């Protein structure tokens, strides 16, 4: 198989640890959207708004993030990121009790895939709801995902660099005082095309459902 260089944005993603360590902690993401990026979203039904998040009992508040690299089933990793090491790679964090991220990425043949699962534990349901609103406002153009956490949102973007397309899906979920963020993207370096919106959106939502289930199955205060 002949080799060729990755686009600059994807090359930068292959070494996220240095960037994140310097920043303390930040959510990893795919190639940065450009002003010319297309914003795409699969049709979604209405979901509960962040204002409907439960604030009644402290017993529902999460005290710590679950292990992110164990939050998605091995079969799901194999399906979404063919050729990746299923154990994943946890990104260094300044506070692993509150913020944790795991990444999987692989180039199999000409197909490249990247998956991130990130957790953030905030001080209260209200703080999580505020952060959720700010995030979905920034990532406008998507739609609600029904039946996931207290509120969930999905958006898919297409970017092109050096004639190489990359399509990335982001799913953000608020569950009580926790935020779960999934980033999933892909490219085909032979055709220079990106996977379909449907493939990326469904893959990101599938990972999000498993990540939220892992959170809900963990220890609460």
Q: What is the pLDDT of residues 60-117, one digit of tens each?
A: 589 999 999 999 999 999 999 999 999 999 999 989 889 999 999 999 999 999 999 9
Rounded-to-10 torsion of CA 45, 197, 88, 77: 80
Tokens of 184: 């999933």
**Domain map of the chain by residue range?**
8-216
Residue carrying structure tokens 């998040």: 53
Give the pLDDT confidence score for residue 30 in this predicted structure. 41
Question: What is the tens place of the pLDDT at every residue in 170-221?
Answer: 999 999 999 999 999 999 999 999 999 999 999 999 999 999 999 998 744 4
Q: Name the average pLDDT for the chain.
A: 81
Taking CA 152 as the corner, what is the angle to CA 24 and CA 117, rounded to the nearest 5 degrees?
A: 40
CB 174 within 8 A of CB 53: yes
Query: Would you state the structure tokens that stand for residue 78, as one six-digit string?
Result: 């194999």
Say how far apart CA 119 and CA 56 lie, in whole Å: 22
Sign of CA dihedral 204, 154, 208, 128: positive
């Amino acid at each position: 198989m002949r080799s060729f260089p990755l686009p600059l944005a994807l090359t930068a993603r292959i070494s996220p640890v240095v960037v994140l360590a310097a920043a303390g902690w930040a959510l990893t993401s795919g190639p940065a959207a450009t002003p010319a990026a297309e914003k795409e979203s699969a049709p979604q039904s209405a979901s509960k708004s962040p204002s409907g998040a439960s604030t009644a009992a402290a017993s529902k508040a999460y005290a710590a993030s679950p292990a992110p690299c164990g939050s998605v089933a091995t079969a799901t990793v194999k399906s979404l990121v063919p050729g990746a090491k299923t154990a994943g790679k946890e990104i260094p964090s300044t506070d692993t009790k509150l913020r944790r991220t795991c990444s999987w990425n692989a180039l199999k043949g000409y197909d490249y895939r990247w998956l991130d699962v990130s957790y953030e534990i905030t001080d209260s349901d209200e703080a999580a709801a505020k952060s959720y609103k700010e995030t979905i406002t920034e990532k406008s153009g998507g739609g609600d995902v029904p039946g996931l956490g207290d509120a969930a949102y999905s958006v898919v973007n297409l970017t092109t660099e050096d004639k190489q397309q990359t399509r990335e899906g982001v799913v953000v979920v608020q569950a009580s005082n926790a935020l779960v963020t999934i980033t999933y993207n892909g490219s085909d370096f032979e055709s220079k095309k990106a996977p379909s919106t449907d493939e990326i959106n469904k893959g990101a939502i599938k990972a999000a459902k498993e990540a939220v289930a892992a959170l809900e199955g963990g220890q609460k205060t």
